[in-house]
Amino acid sequence: MKKSNTTLFKVSETLDQLLIDARQSLQKIAEKCDTYRQKIWREQNKLEESNTIWGYTAVVNEEKLGWRLFMVFMKTRPMTEDFARQQIRRVREDVPGQMQVRLIDVYHLTGTYDWIVVFAAKNWATARKYYDNLRKEYWGLTLEKPELSSVAFTSIRWGKVNPEIERLEEFVSP
């Protein structure tokens, strides 16, 4: 049992290091975890094969590209097979991409809202078209009109602190 706990602890350290910087070398991670590179490689592969790690990505500041972040908050009827298939189809067919929208996150929740869609778009007009498309596509499945919001500032995204976090002070009321 003690060996199992040690292994889990090392996997956690490996995962922590990948979350800090997935671009660092296996050798560097091994040094930080006080183990050897081959073990880190095996643990990383296990995490990937079990889909604990879905992939690796860059955290983008859409503002620097002239884009904006938006969120749609939805209250929906309970999930059905048809509802699930409809969502899967839209993702597989890249409906957002065809509408010049980049999906960032899609969450199914318990609580006030059932579904939150986070996406980037070039402007309000593009965001509104995507929002209208969501409303039409899921008509009858939503319990009330979805809410569309623009993100004013991102402090932390995917566990990464915005390197311009001090800009948050720009949002202080006078």
pLDDT in tens, 47-101: 899 988 888 888 888 988 999 999 999 999 988 898 899 999 999 999 999 999 9
Q: What single-letter DSSP state applies at residue 54?
A: -
pLDDT band at 11 (very low <50, low <70, confident <90, very high): low
User: Residue 122 pLDDT > 80, yes or no?
Assistant: yes
Measured in degrees and rounded to the nearest 5, phi and psi for residue 115 equal -150, 130
Rounded Cα distance, 91 and 135, in Å? 16
Tokens 């298939």: give the residue.
85
Residues 6+ away with beta carbon under 8 Å from 99 = 126, 129, 130, 133
Q: Given a cut of 70, is residue 6 above it in pLDDT?
A: no
Q: Are 106 and 130 in contact (CB under 8 A)?
A: no
| pLDDT for 136 | 93
Backbone angles phi, psi at 35, to 5 degrees: -145, -165
Residue % of the chain over a pLDDT of 90: 57
Residue 158, pLDDT score? 83
How many whole angstroms separate alpha carbon 174 and alpha carbon 161? Answer: 25
Which tens digit of pLDDT belongs to each residue from 136-171?
Answer: 999 989 999 999 999 999 998 888 889 999 999 999
